[in-house]
Structure 1
Amino acid sequence: MRIRTLALGAGITVLLCVPLAISVAASANSDVLISRGRPAIASSERGGVWEAGQATDSDPSSRWESAPGPGTQWVRIDLGGVRDIDRVVLRWDKTYARTYRVQTSVDGANWTDVYATRAGNGGVDDLKRLGGSGRYVRVLATQRAASTGGYALFEIKAYGPSALIKAVAVHPAGGSIAAGLEDRRKKETALELVSSAENSTLSWRQEYGYIEDIGDGRGYTAGIVGFCSGTSDMLEVVEEYTRREPGNVLAAYLPALRTVDGSDSHAGLDPGFPAAWKAASRDPVFQKVQEDERDKMYFWPAVRLARTDGLRALGQFAYYDAAVMHGVSGLKSIRQHALTSAKSPAQGGDEPAYLDAFLDARVREMRTEEAHSDTTRVDTAQRLFLRRSNLDLAGPLTWKVYGDQYRISGP
């Protein structure tokens, strides 16, 4: 492995319950309904009768309803261009959110809170003098009030001046926007994010042949996620490669790999092992082995655990990145520390607050190892996405790792 407010956690600040001057009526020229009939999508829908567009259709009897269960859900309205948003009216069904945020965004990925509360009580919330702007407005519900069901809204009405600030072309939302890392495109995003920290590049497929000793006490580090000679995963990769292709250039090093497992020793590996690893990396069979072993040892165990905890794509990625650096056992230890200070979404907790606690625990663990004490892969990447409320890892994504700037356009 290479190297006016309520605080919800370190670096996350939101408005408490109501904006200032909520009792002051919006001015007449700003009180134009700009969301009527606009396209809407949601993180989930209970069925076709309760689809997202029911919240903007001006029919007071129809509603959007999410899939049942605890955790985060959202509904997002596309206003067709960047607009000022001064007022939002929400009319909840009986399955309302106790904790929610109203947010605006220019690009559909990076969100700004214009209102947040931990004390939602259902009924009608008439939120005025919001002072927001964006092409999109979103209701992000993170904790439900009832012990059953999900979230449901009869109406979401956004008001502001009729004039656009900036006209933009309307493009249909991608089907994967609310997907987790089981989605092929979202998985690719996660792999590129990890590669930016592990290999200083988004092109992780160019790293099959990488190998060096980075001085972290784990011997040789190699391949697409930093398999190590001292932590069993490199041994497992070479064993599987030999099972699929006996007589490969690495097979002769299996006795030495078994001997050095659990140490930082190179005994029996020098001087030829690095060259043999690089030679093997040109073999498509060895490349497929690295991908399969990465998924089996790290990716899918992390994603399954994150889904059990009710986490969306950002949380799944955070778990996967922790598994790559600390192993799945280390991930589970970090998770247990986080659960001592915050409930997971599956337990009825607030997802941003839980993720903040998880990243705090991750940083503490990283600082116990000198080789991993630089925590920017958390501070200027994962924490940055959390502050932008990008729980779905929707593109565009911009971040820095170890001083280098990266960008992914989508999905």
Structure 2
Amino acid sequence: MRGPAKGPRQVKPTRPLRLLPAVLLLALSACAGPGGGGDAQGAGLADPAKKDTAMRIVSSAENSSLDWKAQYAYIEDIGDGRGYTGGVIGFCSGCGDLLKVVERYARTAPGNPLEPFLPALRAVEGSASHRGLGRPFTRAWVRAAKDPAFRRAQDAERDLHYFDPAVARAEGDGLGALGQFIYFDAYVMHGAGDAPGTVGFRTMRREAMAVADPPSRGGDETAYLNAFLDARVAAIRREPSHTDTSRIDTAQRVFVREGRLDLEPPLRWKVYGDSYRLD
């Protein structure tokens, strides 16, 4: 499954902005095996409660909030060169996944407030342009977020291009719920494949496997997850405008160190200096 390739996500500027972009990154390319060790111990992310936990942790980094369901209405340009960022995982007008959300919404709810903006969204794909969008578009997005059909469209695109392929790949590598979440978060922030000036999930996984075998190949799960996180930190540091790795160092690395391979509570972590907990 190929999702839109993306550059690293950033914290919303409505909250303290830790990552300041210096270059324009245009995401122009598109960003099931046996169960893992975690399946023997507990449910993976296919379990609704585990999926909700994963979304809360992602939202702590994406939105500085554990309330991920409040993000359907979020829409703004965060100055990262990818146009508007909106919704539950930060779909972008520049990389095309925001367009896919609106197209899906139009198929299930024709005549909705966002449908008139489809031509403009197609025209700005691959750029940071607001041409034909602007405040009328952002107001329409907020109105649409009250519609369950629009929220379902966001969920469906998240699952199709990010959650489902990440979880399937993690299960194939023999990883439990924590590893599945780590893969999912990498998909959300970086996309599946490399984009100009960025490193995507597939490259990180390949680099991790050069260091440690995953459980599916007889390797130790903790050792492999640390190798993957090392590869992800290196990928972030290759970005000229993104240096903060707290999303890894004081969150995911903490879960690995504590041995929470089932992503079981209590979970305590920090992102960009802010503290969170799930009991």
TM-score normalized by the length of structure 1:
0.57
Q: Is the 8 A contact 1:211 1:220 kept in 2?
A: yes
Query: Shift of the alpha carbon at 1:217?
Result: 1.7
1:151-166 alignment to 2 at 5 Å? none
Letter in 1 for 2:202: K
Query: Shift of the alpha carbon at 1:348?
Result: 1.0
| Corresponding residue of 1:318 | 182
Letter in 2 for 1:332: R
| Corresponding residue of 1:2 | 10
Do the aligned partners of residues 262 and 74 (structure 1) sit closer, same or farther apart at CA in structure 2, a change above 3 Å counting?
A: closer
Cα deviation per residue 1:178-210 (whole Å; 9 max; x = unaligned)? 211111111111011101111111111111111
Cα deviation per residue 1:44-76 (whole Å; 9 max; x = unaligned)? xxxxxxxxxxxxxxxxxxxxxxxxx9964799x
TM-score normalized by the length of structure 2:
0.83
| Corresponding residue of 2:15 | none
User: Residue 134 of structure 2: SS of its match in structure 1?
Assistant: coil
User: Residue 249 of structure 2: SS of its match in structure 1?
Assistant: helix
Cα deviation per residue 1:362-400 (whole Å; 9 max; x = unaligned)? 111122335543211111110000111111111111111
Gaps of 5+ in 1: 4-68, 76-176
Q: Is the 8 A contact 1:70 1:345 kept in 2?
A: no
| Corresponding residue of 1:382 | 252
| Corresponding residue of 2:125 | 261
Q: 2:71 aligns with which of 207, 230, 235?
A: 207
| Corresponding residue of 1:218 | 82
User: Residue 192 of structure 2: SS of its match in structure 1?
Assistant: helix
Q: Is the 8 A contact 1:71 1:349 kept in 2?
A: no
Distance between the aligned counterparts of 1:319 and 1:305, measured in 2?
Answer: 8
Cα deviation per residue 1:202-238 (whole Å; 9 max; x = unaligned)? 1111111111111222111101100000111101000
| Corresponding residue of 2:53 | 189
Structure with more helix by fraction: 2
Percent identity reads 56
| Corresponding residue of 2:43 | 179
1:19-38 alignment to 2 at 5 Å? none
Q: Is the 8 A contact 1:70 1:348 kept in 2?
A: no
Q: Is the 8 A contact 1:70 1:347 kept in 2?
A: no
Q: 1:251 aligns with which of 99, 110, 115?
A: 115
The answer on 1:309 being equivalent to 2:161 is no
The answer on 1:286 being equivalent to 2:156 is no
User: Residue 135 of structure 2: SS of its match in structure 1?
Assistant: coil
Q: 2:232 aligns with which of 359, 362, 365?
A: 362
Cα deviation per residue 1:237-295 (whole Å; 9 max; x = unaligned)? 00000111111111111111111111112122123211111111111111111111111
Structure with more strand by fraction: 1
Indicate the RMSD between aligned Cα atoms, in angstroms.
Answer: 1.9
Query: Shift of the alpha carbon at 1:404?
Result: 1.1
| Corresponding residue of 1:83 | none
Do the aligned partners of residues 348 and 255 (structure 1) sit closer, same or farther apart at CA in structure 2, a change above 3 Å counting?
A: same
User: Residue 389 of structure 1: SS of its match in structure 2?
Assistant: coil
- Number of residues paired by the alignment? 243
Do the aligned partners of residues 289 and 70 (structure 1) sit closer, same or farther apart at CA in structure 2, a change above 3 Å counting?
A: closer
Query: Shift of the alpha carbon at 1:361?
Result: 0.9
Distance between the aligned counterparts of 1:73 and 1:187, measured in 2?
Answer: 14
Distance between the aligned counterparts of 2:38 and 2:171, measured in 1?
Answer: 14
Distance between the aligned counterparts of 1:332 and 1:405, measured in 2?
Answer: 30
Distance between the aligned counterparts of 1:73 and 1:321, measured in 2?
Answer: 18
The answer on 1:399 being equivalent to 2:269 is yes
| Corresponding residue of 2:18 | none
Gaps of 5+ in 2: 1-8, 12-33, 194-199
Distance between the aligned counterparts of 2:248 and 2:224, measured in 1?
Answer: 15
Query: Shift of the alpha carbon at 1:341?
Result: 1.4
Larger Rg belongs to? 1
